[in-house]
Amino acid sequence: MLEFKALHILSMVAMVTVFSGGEFFYTFAVLQRDVHALAWLHSLARRTGLPFLGLGFLVSGIVFGLLTALTGGFDFFAGWLIAAYVLVVAFLVNSTLSGRPLVRLGEMAVQAEAGQRPVDEVVREMATSRASLFFLINLAIFAAIILDMVLKPF
């Protein structure tokens, strides 16, 4: 059980690092209206496959968490675990809502860097983006998951 628990924690910390780090830098570039930085970040993410790495860490973290619960005698329907399930779904929904517009902005920035789209158009799109709101929501969700896992309040 301890091995699964350690792998669960390591996987989830890695997932949060990949997703939050990427989302932070995307959001910061959008808030600064920095088309060049956003294009570079988007190109880097595409070349390195970081989004897939983050998804891999998420899936492995979930699997190791379930194995921890199974081998540790945890009740899968304990209140704190149900809260964790709901928070993970909230994270996935929020990430889907924020990810698509950020990816679209990244693609537009790459096109602007290549001279295929006016930079002003990308800056206008950045100005109307709600990236910072979604980023803050994900940070709150991560904090709630951590507190739920540590304190087991239910």
Name, in order, each residue with C-beta under 8 angstroms of 151's C-beta and a sequence gap of 6 or more: 80
pTM: 0.81
Convert the pLDDT of each residue in 26-81 to its tens digit.
999 999 999 999 999 999 988 998 889 999 999 999 999 999 999 988 898 999 99
Query: Is a pLDDT exceeding 90 seen at residue 111?
Result: yes
CB atoms within 10 A of CB 60: 17
Q: Is the confidence at residue 97, as pLDDT, over 90?
A: no
Please say if the pLDDT value at position 96 is more than 90. no
- Residue in 102, 112, 116, 97 with CA at minimum distance from that of residue 31: 102
What domain count does the chain have?
1
Going by the DSSP 8-state scheme, the letter that residue 154 receives in this structure is: -
Nearest to 84 by CA among 33, 9, 26, 142: 142
Per-residue pLDDT, 21: 87
Whether the per-residue pLDDT at 90 is higher than 90: the answer is yes
Kindly tell me if the per-residue pLDDT of 22 is higher than 90. Answer: no
**How crowded is residue 59: how many other Cβ atoms within 10 Å of its Cβ?**
12
pLDDT of residue 100: 86
| Domain span holding position 112 | 2-151
Residue 1: count other Cβ atoms within 10 Å of its Cβ.
13
